[in-house]
Amino acid sequence: MKNKNKSNLCTAGSSYVHIYPNGDIFRCMKDYNTRKEPITNINKIIAGDKLFKKPVSCSHKVCDVYCDADWSTKWLLEDEQVITKVPANEWDGVTSKHPWSEQELTPYSPPKYLSIVWTPALQCNYTCEYCGCAAGHKKIATAFPSAEPKAPEEQWMDVFKILKERYPWGYLQTNGGEPLLSPSTIPVLKLMSDQWAINLVTNGSIKITELVRQKMPAYNEKDDFGLSITLSLHPSSRGFNWDLFLGKALMLKNEGYLRCINYVGWPEQLYLFSHYKKIFKEYDIDVYLQPWMGEDNRGFIGYTDAENKYVSEHVGASRSSNTLLLNDYANEEDYSSILKIIDYSISKNVINLTIDTQNSGTKDWDSEHIKIGARLLKPNGNNTPVREYRLGLVEPLIAKSNRINKFCIDLNGIKKEEHNLILDVVYEGKFWFSERGAKTIKLFLKNDDNNWEIRK
């Protein structure tokens, strides 16, 4: 029986984009997080470049970044016939126009509306343990794609004037970092607020009074334009001040700007959600729990069963239903790997690993740039490697083939502590394969009486 050719078309890049501090424009947040290349830059938009005119093929096996599912429609195809349409979810109906979910594949015309998630700054003045933006300015500048150099205010104003003219209505949402750290944020919001719907997501610690004094129109559903503000509540961050946060929330509510409070369900602050929700209920302010995803700055990943149960009981319906599993319809990643440990031994302070390395993608690996890598991390550290290791490939490894490699991990000079050893494949100077969805191998190392022990 002939296998059906399956594919997935998505409107991200056509109806919805992400824009980062240096002006790079990405199709979606998932593309950014997995280190895909940007589709264009604001300088090219200023020069006349256009966004995609039709849906394009998506290679992701999972669409689990919420706003990607909120603002982009997908069509799952078999032998070029539409099997399923997955409409944009549009988080809790935040707009009244619903242009994204109504899109049809055939016939398809470029949307008259645009949704933008804009990151004017990736730096943040908060130090949340669950956010990479707490890494500090220097690390963000070097480790985060498209963070630097920041586009100047004139360029931001030029490109948003063009987008405002090109799209008679749109939805602009900020994220970060802290967007109000950028001097360009307030001028751009003021420019767009008389025509587009805007949601500023901010921790509320800076420039709130300055923002209110701009007297931008507050968003209302009837006119479907104006400014709304989502305050992000981060009680475990150093420098958080509860009284000031509450005061600013009440000020924004009375000015008509406050949409809701956003609360990240990181495990160490998860169960405080009920406490804060009860407090804000007294002021008729909604608080929404956002599930925490990924890995925190101490190396912990995911929820326990009890935490999952609590999240499922408190998270909004749209946030529990728009993670899409697309394994059958995803175009295979160009770069993908599968690692398996066949054998290992320990001799003094050296771990000898025998690894089966498989190139499971569609591109051959050149031996100059692609290597097997490892990162040694402290379990309760800030995710900064104590030491990194590399094993070069003797010769290229073609797609769909594997090779047995000997990898020596020298622990001489490492303090007698517990560590995690993460094995991965790296495209040197560009990305780790795990950033594009490949699974890593995680080993737990412990030094006891000068003898290293390994647990998988």
Q: What is the pLDDT of residues 151-183, one digit of tens each?
A: 999 999 999 999 999 998 999 999 889 999 999
Domain harbouring 447, CATH code: 2.60.40.10
For all residues of the chain together, what is the average pLDDT? Answer: 87
Q: How many domains does the chain have?
A: 2
Mean pLDDT of 402-421: 86
Same domain, 29 and 130: yes
Domain harbouring 147, CATH code: 3.20.20
Q: What pLDDT digit, counting tens, does each position of 93-113 carry?
A: 555 555 677 778 888 887 888
pLDDT band at 381 (very low <50, low <70, confident <90, very high): low
Same domain, 412 and 267: no
Mean pLDDT of 360-383: 84
Q: Is residue 34's pLDDT more than 70?
A: yes
pLDDT band at 316 (very low <50, low <70, confident <90, very high): low
Q: What pLDDT digit, counting tens, does each position of 52-68 carry?
A: 988 988 888 778 776 78
Same domain, 78 and 131: yes
Q: Is residue 2's pLDDT more than 70?
A: no
The domain in which residue 20 lies consists of 6-325
- Residue 294, in any domain of the structure: yes
pLDDT band at 415 (very low <50, low <70, confident <90, very high): confident
Same domain, 313 and 339: no
End-of-domain residue from the set 294, 309, 325: 325
pLDDT score for 411: 87
pLDDT score for 1: 45
Same domain, 212 and 228: yes
Q: Is residue 332's pLDDT more than 70?
A: no
Same domain, 389 and 293: no
- Hey, CA dihedral for 104, 110, 113, 118, is it positive or negative? positive
Spatial distance between the Cα atoms of 118 and 16, rounded to a whole number of angstroms: 11
Q: How far are the Cα atoms of 129, 185, 219, 261, 383 from residue 248, in angstroms, in the given order? A: 24, 19, 18, 12, 33
pLDDT band at 318 (very low <50, low <70, confident <90, very high): low
- Residue 372, in any domain of the structure: yes
pLDDT score for 326: 80
pLDDT top residue among 22 and 112: 22
Q: How many residues does the chain have?
A: 456
Tokens of 227: 């400014």
Same domain, 33 and 158: yes
Q: Is residue 198's pLDDT more than 90?
A: yes
Given a contact cutoff of 8 angstroms between Cβ atoms, the answer to whether 391 and 372 are in contact is yes
Mean pLDDT of 436-452: 80
pLDDT band at 3 (very low <50, low <70, confident <90, very high): low
Same domain, 292 and 351: no
pLDDT band at 212 (very low <50, low <70, confident <90, very high): very high
Q: Is residue 135's pLDDT more than 70?
A: no
pTM over 0.95: no
Spatial distance between the Cα atoms of 324 and 84, rounded to a whole number of angstroms: 12
**C-alpha radius of gyration, the chain, whole number:** 24
Mean pLDDT of 271-299: 90
